[in-house]
C-alpha cells in the first residue's frame, strides 16, 4: 500500500497482509465468496463477513477488505471538530483504558470492534460510522442552552441506517426530519422542530399540584425522579423545590422491545419504594411495569441485554426475571458469593448441568468483562473460535486414539509422544518452563519438550480476566504482566498489550489453594497485601469471602517443589511456620514466618522463595532478548553462568552469573542482568 497511514502492509504477492491488530499471523485475501458463504463475522466492524476479505487460516480471524485497509489515523472528522488538530487514532476494542471510552458518538453502541479515538477527550466513533463522513454532512453547533454539551445537527437522519433505530426524545416519533443529537449523551436525540418548540410550562404526572417551568442553569441541579445531579435545562417548581431533568420529563409512557421483554412495559410515575424484578435491588423513583408478568423494573433495567458473554464463564449467559428450580438448594452469585434470590432477576447459564448464576449488578459492573450478544447464533461462533488447537496436524495416533506424532505451531520439526525421559536430565517444558514429568512431546531433532497438556493449549483463549480474545504466541523472552516473572515459555496476549504466561493463564477465577482452608475468588478491586509475600496487590487479587486472606498471581503460581544445592532433597512450598523467629538457610537473613517459604522436613531446611528459585527461574539458557529490553544494537542471549571472568560492558565489574551476551560472534558486548534493571 502506498499510503503510510494505511493499517496493513502487503507482501510482494499482494495476497497476504500483516495487520497491526493481528501480528501473530499474516491474513490471506479471499477475493470471491464460495457457494457455502462465509459463516463468520468481521473482527473489525462486527458485520457478517463477505468477500473480498482477509482471513487468518490459523486463528479464525477475519476482516473485510475495507476494514483491513482502514487508515490508522484520521486528520479530522465532522462529528468532532473540537480537537481536529489532534485527529483520531484507530484502536481495537475494548480499549485498554476503556473506562473512559463511552461508546460510538453516532450509533451509541459500546466500542467492541475497531473504532477511532480522540486522545484528548476520549471521543470515539466506530469504524462503520466513521465511514459515513465521506457521504453525509454534519454541522457542529456551539453549546445550546437546552443541553450541557454541544449538539450536532443533521438534516436527513433517515439516510443513515443507525438513526433508523432511534426516535425523538421529546415526541418519541421516528427521526424523519432534521435532528439534533449529542455525541456524548446516548439518550439525547431530538427533532429540530421539537427543540425549537419546547414548551416553557408543562403539567407533569410526577407533580400534580403545580405546573413545572423550563429553567436554564450552568450549575448542577438535583433531579427528584432519577435522584442524580445534572446541568443544563430542567423543569422545576420553585414553590416545592421540585426539579426534573429534561430527559426524565421526556420518558416514553409505553416501551415495546421484544428483544428485551416479550410484553409492553408501562411507565409508572409514583415515587414509592420497590424491588426491581430485573436486577433484584431497591428502587424509589421512576419504574416501568408489565401487567402481564406482574413485574416492576427500574427505568435503567428496561434495556438490560438479554444475552451476554461474560469473560469469567465459558458459555453465554441469559437474563431472567426469576429462576425456576425443583431443588431447594441455595444459589450463590459466582462473583460476590452472596445469595441470588430465585424470584428476582439474574443472569444464568442455560447449558444442561451448568449451575452458573450471577447477580445483574455484579456481572454488569465492569464493561471490560462482558460483551453484549444480539443473536444466539453468535454464542456458537464464539465457542467455536475459542476451541482452536495449537496442534496444526496429527500425523500418527495409537490404539487409544492419542496423537503420538504431531505438528505444532511453535516448532519447525514434528513432535513425538513419550512417557519418560531416556536420560536422567533436568529437562523443562518449553511452554511453562516447569520440569518435564508424566506424559510429554519431544523433538527427535533438537532439545524441545512440551507437556502433553501444554501442547494441547488453544491458540485462542477467552480468558476470564477480560472479555476479548487472548492469542497464544511463543516469543522467546517476555515479562508476565500478572506474576512479574520473566519467562522464555509461551504467552497469551490480552487486550493487545498484557502478556500472560501460561502458568498464570491456567489459574481459574475461583480456586482451591493448599495454603488456605477456604476457596478463593478473584476480586478486581482488592488492594490488600498478599498473605504469601506481604506485597500490596496492585491489579486485584484472589481473596477469601470468609476471612481477610488474599494472594497475588506471583505467589499462586509458585512451583510446589524446587531443587537447590543447599539440600539433597526437593524443597517443598510451605505455607505456615509456627516459629516466632526464622532465618533463611541460603541468604542467612531474617525470614518472616508469616509468609510462604520453601522447606525440607527431613533436614529442617527453610529458605525464601526468591533465594531458592533465583531471579529467573523460568528462563532458558540461550534465550534471545530483543532490543525492547536493552539499548544494544544487536539482540542479546541470556546465560546463568559464563566462562572466565569477563568485565560487564556497563559497570566494568567482573561477570560470574546471570548475564546477557551479544548474539553476534564478532561482538564482545556482555552485561549483568542487574545492570539492565531486570531484577524485581
**Residue predicted with more confidence, 8 or 1:** 8
Out of 356, 382, 408, pick the residue that ends a domain: 382
Nearest in space to 311 (alpha carbons), one of 488, 451, 492: 492
pLDDT value at residue 5: 44
Q: Is the Cβ–Cβ distance between 224 and 214 less than 8 Å? A: no
pLDDT in tens, 208-221: 899 999 887 767 78
- Asked whether residue 225 is assigned to any structural domain, the reply reads no
Average pLDDT (658-668) is 88
Work out the pLDDT band at 327, boundaries 50, 70, 90. low
Identify the weakest region by mean pLDDT among 151-160, 295-304, 517-526, 649-658.
151-160
Nearest in space to 481 (alpha carbons), one of 557, 371, 425: 557
Out of 271, 286, 301, pick the residue that ends a domain: 301
- Asked whether residue 402 is assigned to any structural domain, the reply reads yes
Neighbours of 655 (CB within 10 A): 23
Strand order in the sheet with 22-30: 9-10, 16-19, 22-30, 53-56, 61-64
DSSP codes of every residue in 39-50: -SB-TTT-SBP-
Q: Which residue has the cell 438535583?
A: 222
Work out the pLDDT band at 603, boundaries 50, 70, 90. very high
Give the three cell numbers for residue 447: 532439545
- Asked whether residue 499 is assigned to any structural domain, the reply reads no
Average pLDDT (178-207) is 80
- Mean per-residue pLDDT of the chain: 83
Q: Are strands 636-641 and 657-662 parallel, antiparallel or unpaired?
A: antiparallel
Residue 581 and residue 603 in one domain: yes
Question: In the chain, what is the straight-line distance between the N-terminal and C-terminal CA atoms, in Å?
Answer: 43
DSSP codes of every residue in 37-81: ---SB-TTT-SBP-SSEEEETTTTEEEEHHHHT-BSEES-BTTB-
Give the three cell numbers for residue 604: 529442617
Nearest in space to 148 (alpha carbons), one of 184, 114, 195: 184
Work out the pLDDT band at 440, boundaries 50, 70, 90. very high
Angle at 591 between CA 588 and CA 592, to 5 degrees: 170
Check which CATH number belongs to the domain holding 593 and give it. 3.30.60.20
Work out the pLDDT band at 349, boundaries 50, 70, 90. very high
pLDDT value at residue 384: 65
Average pLDDT (85-106) is 68
Q: Is the Cβ–Cβ distance between 27 and 87 less than 8 Å? A: no
pLDDT value at residue 39: 65
Average pLDDT (394-414) is 91
Residue 450 and residue 401 in one domain: yes
Q: Is the Cβ–Cβ distance between 356 and 317 less than 8 Å? A: yes
DSSP summary character for residue 554? H
Average pLDDT (430-438) is 87
Nearest in space to 204 (alpha carbons), one of 185, 223, 230: 223
pLDDT value at residue 279: 92
pLDDT value at residue 4: 41
Residue 321 and residue 285 in one domain: no
Check which CATH number belongs to the domain holding 633 and give it. 3.30.60
- Asked whether residue 92 is assigned to any structural domain, the reply reads no
Give the three cell numbers for residue 653: 565489574
- Asked whether residue 403 is assigned to any structural domain, the reply reads yes
pLDDT value at residue 452: 92
**Residue predicted with more confidence, 620 or 384:** 620
How many whole angstroms separate alpha carbon 112 and alpha carbon 369?
Answer: 11
DSSP codes of every residue in 373-416: ESSTHHHHHHHHHTT-BSEEEEEEE-TTS-EEEEEETT-SS-EE
pLDDT value at residue 573: 95
Overall domain count for the chain: 7
Work out the pLDDT band at 385, boundaries 50, 70, 90. low
- Asked whether residue 435 is assigned to any structural domain, the reply reads yes
* 144 has pLDDT over 70: no
pLDDT in tens, 9-57: 444 445 888 898 887 788 989 887 665 555 677 888 877 888 889 988 7
pLDDT value at residue 569: 92
pLDDT value at residue 414: 94
pLDDT in tens, 153-171: 877 776 566 666 677 777 7
pLDDT in tens, 497-510: 788 999 999 999 99
Out of 301, 336, 368, pick the residue that ends a domain: 301
The rounded radius of gyration (Å) of the Cα atoms in the chain is: 30
Work out the pLDDT band at 119, boundaries 50, 70, 90. confident
Identify the weakest region by mean pLDDT among 74-83, 532-541, 560-569.
74-83
Percent of the chain with pLDDT over 90: 26
pLDDT value at residue 3: 45
- Asked whether residue 406 is assigned to any structural domain, the reply reads yes
> pTM, whole model, 2 decimals?
0.67
- Asked whether residue 290 is assigned to any structural domain, the reply reads yes
Residue 268 and residue 286 in one domain: yes
DSSP summary character for residue 282? E
Give the three cell numbers for residue 51: 468477500
Residue 318 and residue 347 in one domain: yes
How many whole angstroms separate alpha carbon 634 and alpha carbon 662?
Answer: 7
Q: Is the Cβ–Cβ distance between 246 and 234 less than 8 Å? A: yes
557-566, 624-633, 651-660: which has the highest mean pLDDT?
A: 557-566
**3-class DSSP state of 637:** strand
What domain range is 418 assigned to?
391-456
* CA within 13 Å, CB half, 538: 6
Residue 396 and residue 441 in one domain: yes
Give 79: exposed, middle or buried? Use CB within 10 Å, 0-12, 13-18, 19+: buried
pLDDT value at residue 160: 65
Residue 439 and residue 408 in one domain: yes
β-bridge mates for residue 487, sequence order: 478, 618
How many whole angstroms separate alpha carbon 467 and alpha carbon 385?
Answer: 13
pLDDT value at residue 96: 44
Question: Residue 319 is inside which H or E element, if any?
Answer: strand 317-320
Q: Is the Cβ–Cβ distance between 624 and 477 less than 8 Å? A: yes
Residue 294 and residue 333 in one domain: no
DSSP codes of every residue in 238-252: TTTTEEEEHHHHT--
Residue 411 and residue 443 in one domain: yes
pLDDT value at residue 31: 83
pLDDT in tens, 623-640: 888 777 788 888 899 998
Amino acid at each position: 500500500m502506498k499510503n503510510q497511514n494505511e493499517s496493513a502492509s502487503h507482501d510482494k504477492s499482494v495476497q497476504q497482509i500483516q495487520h497491526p491488530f493481528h501480528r501473530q499471523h499474516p491474513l490471506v485475501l479471499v477475493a470471491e465468496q464460495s457457494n457455502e458463504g462465509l459463516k463468520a463475522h468481521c473482527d473489525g466492524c462486527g458485520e457478517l463477513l463477505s468477500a473480498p476479505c482477509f482471513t487468518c487460516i490459523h486463528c479464525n480471524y477475519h476482516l473485510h477488505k475495507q476494514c483491513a485497509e482502514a487508515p490508522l489515523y484520521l486528520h479530522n472528522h465532522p462529528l468532532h471538530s473540537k480537537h481536529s488538530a489532534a485527529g483520531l487514532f484507530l484502536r481495537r476494542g475494548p480499549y485498554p483504558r476503556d473506562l473512559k471510552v463511552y461508546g460510538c458518538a453516532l450509533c451509541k453502541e459500546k466500542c467492541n470492534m475497531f473504532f477511532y479515538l480522540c486522545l484528548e477527550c476520549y471521543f470515539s466513533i466506530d469504524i462503520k460510522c466513521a465511514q459515513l463522513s465521506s457521504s453525509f454532512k454534519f454541522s457542529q453547533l456551539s453549546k445550546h442552552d437546552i443541553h450541557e454539551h454541544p449538539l450536532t445537527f443533521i438534516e436527513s437522519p433517515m439516510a443513515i441506517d443507525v438513526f433508523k433505530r432511534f426516535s425523538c426524545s421529546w415526541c418519541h416519533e421516528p427521526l424523519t426530519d432534521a435532528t439534533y443529537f449529542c455525541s456524548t449523551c446516548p439518550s439525547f436525540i431530538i427533532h429540530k422542530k421539537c427543540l425549537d418548540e419546547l414548551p416553557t410550562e408543562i403539567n407533569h404526572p410526577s407533580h400534580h399540584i403545580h405546573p413545572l417551568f423550563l429553567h436554564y442553569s450552568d450549575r448542577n441541579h438535583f433531579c427528584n425522579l432519577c435522584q442524580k445531579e445534572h446541568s443544563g435545562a430542567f423543569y422545576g417548581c420553585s414553590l416545592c423545590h421540585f426539579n426534573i431533568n429534561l430527559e426524565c420529563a421526556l420518558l416514553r409512557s409505553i416501551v415495546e422491545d421484544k428483544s428485551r421483554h416479550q410484553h409492553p412495559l408501562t411507565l409508572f410515575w409514583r415515587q414509592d419504594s420497590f424491588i426491581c424484578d430485573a436486577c433484584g435491588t431497591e428502587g424509589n423513583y421512576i419504574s416501568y411495569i408489565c401487567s402481564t408478568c406482574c413485574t416492576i423494573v427500574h427505568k435503567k433495567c428496561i434495556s438490560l441485554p438479554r444475552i451476554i458473554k461474560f469473560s469469567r464463564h465459558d458459555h453465554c449467559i441469559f437474563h431472567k426475571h426469576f429462576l425456576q428450580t425443583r431443588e431447594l438448594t441455595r444459589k450463590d452469585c459466582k462473583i460476590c458469593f452472596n445469595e441470588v434470590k430465585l424470584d428476582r432477576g439474574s443472569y444464568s447459564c442455560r447449558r444442561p448441568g451448568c449451575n452458573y448464576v450471577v447477580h445483574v449488578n455484579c456481572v454488569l459492573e465492569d464493561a471490560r468483562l462482558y460483551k453484549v450478544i444480539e443473536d444466539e447464533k453468535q454464542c456458537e461462533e464464539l465457542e467455536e473460535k475459542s476451541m482452536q488447537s495449537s496442534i496444526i496436524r496429527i500425523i500418527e495416533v495409537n490404539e487409544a486414539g492419542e496423537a503420538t506424532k504431531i505438528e505444532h505451531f511453535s516448532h519447525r520439526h514434528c513432535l513425538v509422544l513419550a512417557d519418560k525421559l531416556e536420560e536422567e536430565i533436568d529437562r523443562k517444558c518449553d511452554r511453562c518452563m516447569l520440569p518435564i514429568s508424566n506424559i510429554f512431546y519431544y523433538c527427535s531433532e533438537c532439545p524441545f519438550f512440551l507437556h502433553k497438556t501444554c501442547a494441547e493449549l488453544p491458540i485462542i483463549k477467552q480468558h476470564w480476566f477480560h472479555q476479548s480474545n487472548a492469542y497464544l504466541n511463543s516469543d522467546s523472552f517476555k515479562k508476565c504482566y500478572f506474576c512479574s516473572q520473566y519467562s522464555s515459555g509461551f504467552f497469551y496476549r490480552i487486550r493487545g498489550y498484557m502478556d500472560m504466561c501460561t502458568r498464570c493463564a491456567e489459574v481459574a477465577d475461583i480456586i482451591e489453594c493448599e495454603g488456605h482452608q477456604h476457596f478463593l475468588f478473584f476480586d478486581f478491586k482488592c488492594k490488600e497485601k498478599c498473605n504469601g509475600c506481604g506485597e500490596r496487590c496492585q491489579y486485584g487479587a484472589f481473596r477469601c469471602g470468609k476471612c481477610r486472606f488474599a494472594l497475588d498471581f506471583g505467589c499462586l503460581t509458585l512451583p510446589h517443589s524446587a531443587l537447590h544445592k543447599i539440600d539433597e532433597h526437593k524443597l517443598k512450598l510451605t505455607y505456615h511456620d509456627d516459629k516466632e523467629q526464622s532465618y533463611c538457610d541460603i541468604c542467612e537473613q531474617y525470614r518472616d514466618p508469616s509468609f510462604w517459604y520453601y522447606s525440607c522436613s527431613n533436614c529442617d531446611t527453610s529458605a525464601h522463595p526468591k533465594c531458592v528459585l533465583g531471579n529467573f527461574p523460568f528462563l532458558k539458557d540461550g534465550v534471545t532478548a530483543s532490543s525492547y529490553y536493552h539499548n544494544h544494537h544487536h539482540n542479546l542471549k541470556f546465560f546463568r553462568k559464563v566462562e572466565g571472568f569477563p568485565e560487564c560492558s556497563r559497570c566494568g565489574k567482573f561477570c560470574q552469573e546471570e548475564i546477557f551476551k551479544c548474539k553476534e560472534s564478532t561482538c564482545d558486548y556482555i552485561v549483568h542482568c542487574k545492570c539492565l534493571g531486570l531484577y524485581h
